[in-house]
Amino acid sequence: MTSFMLSDTTASKISSQLTHLRHQMGSPAVGMVLTLVVVCDEGEQYDAVRAATEAAREHPSRILVVIARDPAEPNRLDAELRVGESTPGEVILLRLYGELTRHADSVVSPLLLTDTPVVAWWPRECPDVPAKDPIGALAQRRIVDARPAAEPVKVLASRTRSYVPGDTDLAWTRLTPWRSLLAAAFDQPVGKVKKGVVEAAAGHPSAPLLAAWLGERLGAPVKVTESGGPGLTRVVLSTADGDIAITRSDARLATLSRPGQPDRQVALARRPTSELIAEELRRLDPDEVYEAAIRRVSKTVRS
């Protein structure tokens, strides 16, 4: 990967240098399909860039990493350009000082790929209303994550007030394998579900989302109870024929139990952030199922 530093620069100089680097490498035309804007601080940028770069293997992207530094310093924009030789896409780290920390959109806008979608991702702290944030307003999809918050379940419940089509939360994305397994458990006829329980570590935000989704789909009460964790550990759905249960005891496998059938081991691995981002980038239209789930959560959790 070729890396190039620009100090006290501008967006136009960054664009010119990108074009020069691409020509220098003999690949001026790159089929990038979207712009991913990552808003983070210096301490988060390494992990965020690594996850975004891995996701770009599936979705070639221009990755703009916005890092706000000291607002008390004179206005300055420093940039680090990384252009891959074997991996499609570009990574541009933008370090903003002074007034630029409050006007990141003015730096980002000229660097967006034309005629392609824009996705914004906040790995940790995010705006109260992502769609009204200057960066969020540029994006068709806005990705946040309730899990790192001090009170993740309350934060998740508050998402309803700020929700705009195109918003999503990685606490929801983490549920995809669980939702797939639970749907598959009903491939063969079973009795009507009377009630359900989702067990998870205390404060795990994916648990109320999963309970909300199940309650919406099954038309039955599903509650959340605490377990020793880590994360989601068990789902039990009680039917007239017996219990349907998925129990995860480690980070890779779970046990699926169904009435009248032997237990079997199923894959249920915890996924890295890069896979979660890659999944979200596959879908750029509004997620109506997620919207229904968070609206249900907000009715059951006092935010």
Partnered with residue 248 across adjacent β-strands are 254
For the cut 70, the answer to whether the pLDDT of residue 85 exceeds it is: no
**pLDDT recorded at residue 28:** 47
User: Which residue do the tokens 């109260």 mark?
Assistant: 128
- Longest CA–CA separation in the chain, Å: 71
Q: Which residue type occupies 103?
A: H
**What dihedral do alpha carbons 146, 299, 167, 171 form, nearest 10°?**
30
**pLDDT recorded at residue 303:** 41
86 or 65: which leads in pLDDT: 65
Which among 13, 98, 56, 1 is positioned nearest to 282, based on CA atoms?
Answer: 56
**pLDDT recorded at residue 239:** 93
For the cut 90, the answer to whether the pLDDT of residue 291 exceeds it is: yes
**pLDDT recorded at residue 290:** 95
Instruction: Give the confidence band of 228 by pLDDT, cuts at 50, 70, 90.
Output: confident
Q: How far apart are CA 173 and CA 270, in angstroms?
A: 11
Mean pLDDT to the nearest integer, 7-31: 80
For the cut 80, the answer to whether the pLDDT of residue 2 exceeds it is: no
Residues 6+ apart with CB under 8 A from 300: 208, 212
183: which 2 tokens?
Answer: 């749907």
Q: Is 264:256 a contact under the CB 8 Å cutoff? A: yes
**pLDDT recorded at residue 274:** 96
As a whole number, the mean pLDDT across the chain is 91
Side-by-side strand order, sheet with 34-40? 2-6, 76-83, 90-97, 61-68, 34-40, 118-121, 141-144, 167-169
Which among 191, 239, 189, 233 is positioned nearest to 210, based on CA atoms?
Answer: 233
For the cut 90, the answer to whether the pLDDT of residue 32 exceeds it is: no
For the chain, give the percent of residues with pLDDT over 90. Answer: 75
**pLDDT recorded at residue 1:** 63
Where helices occur in the chain by DSSP H, the ranges are 11-25, 45-55, 104-108, 152-162, 170-173, 176-184, 206-218, 273-282, 288-300
**pLDDT recorded at residue 19:** 84
In angstroms, the Cα distances linking 68 to 12, 65, 81 are 20, 10, 17
**pLDDT recorded at residue 29:** 47
CATH T-level topology, domain 2-144: Rossmann fold (3.40.50)
For the cut 50, the answer to whether the pLDDT of residue 267 exceeds it is: yes
Q: Could you please report the per-residue DSSP string of 151-215?
A: SHHHHHHHHHHH--TTEEEHHHHTTHHHHHHHHHTTSS--PPEEEEEEEESTT-THHHHHHHHHH
pLDDT tens figures, 159-204: 888 899 999 999 999 999 999 999 988 887 788 899 999 999 999 9
**pLDDT recorded at residue 30:** 59
